[in-house]
Structures are given as C-alpha cells and as structure tokens.
Amino acid sequence: MLTADTLDVWFGHHPDRVDAVKGAAFQVAQGESFGLVGESGSGKSTILRAIAGLIPSWSGRIEVDGRALSTDRRDRAFFKTVQMVFQDPYASLHPRHSVDAVLAETLRLQGMDRIDQRIVRLLDDVGLGRGFRFRYPHQLSGGQRQRVAIARALAAEPRLLLLDEPTSALDVSVQAEILNLLADLRAEHGLTYLMVSHDLAVVGHMCDRLAVMQQGRIVEVMSVDALRRGAGTADYTRQLMAASGGFRREDAAAV
C-alpha cells in the first residue's frame, strides 16, 4: 500500500539547510498498521507530512498503492486514498465551523452525494450521536474533537490513514478510547495505518511492525512481537526501550 525508498526530507537551503530525514526506506502492506517511533525531532512526523504533500522539499521514492508521488501538489485522487489525522484536534478543526459544516465541506470537496446521510453515518462510525452534529469545537471535549477529526478523515473513504500522534494531546483516560476506536475502524473498513508515536505501549497495541528512527534515519525495522520480547538489535532501540520505563507486554495489553 505504501513504499518509501531512499527518502530524504529537508528544510531550507544551503548553507542553512537542515536534513530532517535521511535515506528512509520501509514498506507498509495493505491492511497493515505500521509504526514510526523515536524521540522528538527524529523525523517521524516529517515523513508523514512529506507523504501528505505538506512538505515539498524531498527526494527519493514514495509510492501509494503502486502510484509514484511527486513533489507537486496532491490531487483529489490522492486524497480519496490517503487522509491524515493530526496530533492536536482543536488546532486541526476550524473554531467557527460546526461539526456539520466540517464534515459537509469535506464530503463536497470529495464529490460525494447524499451529504446528510453520510454525515449521520460518519458520526455513528466514530461513536458520536447526531446530537453532536451542530456543535462547535469549543463545545466538545478533546476526545470528542479527535473523533470529529477521524470522521473527517473517513469522509473521503480512504484506504490509508496517516496518524500523527493521534492521542498524545488527550487526557490519559481518553487515549485508550480513541486507540480502540481506531483499531475497530481499521478492522471494519480494511484500513491501512501509518502511525507516528513516541509511546512504545501505544505502538505495541496498535501496530504489526514498526521502524525505529534516530536523528532522521531508520535504525531498525522490527515486528511488534520482537518489541514485546525486548529483542531490539540496534543499540538505540534498546536505549529507547529502557528510556520508556522497560516496555512490557502487559503495558500494551492494558491499553
């Protein structure tokens, strides 16, 4: 579903150019949930933004469903296949647009019909009743806002979701609800996930495989089973596990 090969992403120009991602390579199978983990500034979110077309300064190869992407602006066909859920649901929703307006606008941009019925179904899919339809972001909790953001992403009926730390801005009590919702949606709709997280327990709960990043490079690609066993081969992976408080399988099971 997704291939990245020799992916470099940078900001600025010489002599002030900053290389944020260097030679990244990984593949995500259709229906798989793949994680990108590492400390802040390691390039995880930058990869997502390059795929989504939000950063044009990249080189290498990115393919989505067999279609090679360029640094040009993404077209409608791309956004019918790929959608992104951002870290902060309040910042990603227009404060003066109701839930109804947010979803209706997205559906119209995607050329969808039966807008009214689709909005009701989207709200049901993310566990919000129709009573939330005409509320504004400031009238919603953080978890409810993230559910709206997920509904907006689903409006295009995509096959690949880019998840940029989708629970890190939420209260701990709400994080598990959103993660379980994402797991249910993946199973129900046959979605593929590329998820960025700094939390190994979250990745252990949500993903099948993961890539560990350090200073813009992928140092190791491993299965979640290997993560649960603590079987990292790279020194940095082992340091990351230790820094996370000694990742344990029961941590992921408890999410």
d(CA 255, CA 82): 26
DSSP annotation of 172 reads H
pLDDT band at 89 (very low <50, low <70, confident <90, very high): confident
The pLDDT tens digits for 100-110 are 999 999 999 88
d(CA 203, CA 218): 16
Domains along the chain with CATH numbers:
2-254 (3.40.50.300)
pLDDT band at 252 (very low <50, low <70, confident <90, very high): low
Mean pLDDT score across all residues of the chain: 92
pLDDT band at 254 (very low <50, low <70, confident <90, very high): low
| pLDDT tops 90 at residue 220 | yes
Q: Would strands 2-11 and 58-64 be described as parallel, antiparallel, or unpaired? A: antiparallel
Please tell me the number of Cα atoms within 13 Å of 174 on its side-chain side: 13
Q: What is the pLDDT of residue 247?
A: 47
Alpha carbon of residue 112 to chain centroid: 24
Q: What is the mean pLDDT of residues 161-173?
A: 89
Contact call for residues 122 and 151 (beta carbons, < 8 A): yes
| pLDDT tops 60 at residue 249 | no
User: Position of tokens 């996930």?
Assistant: 193
pTM of the predicted structure, to 2 decimals: 0.91
The pLDDT tens digits for 24-37 are 999 999 999 999 99
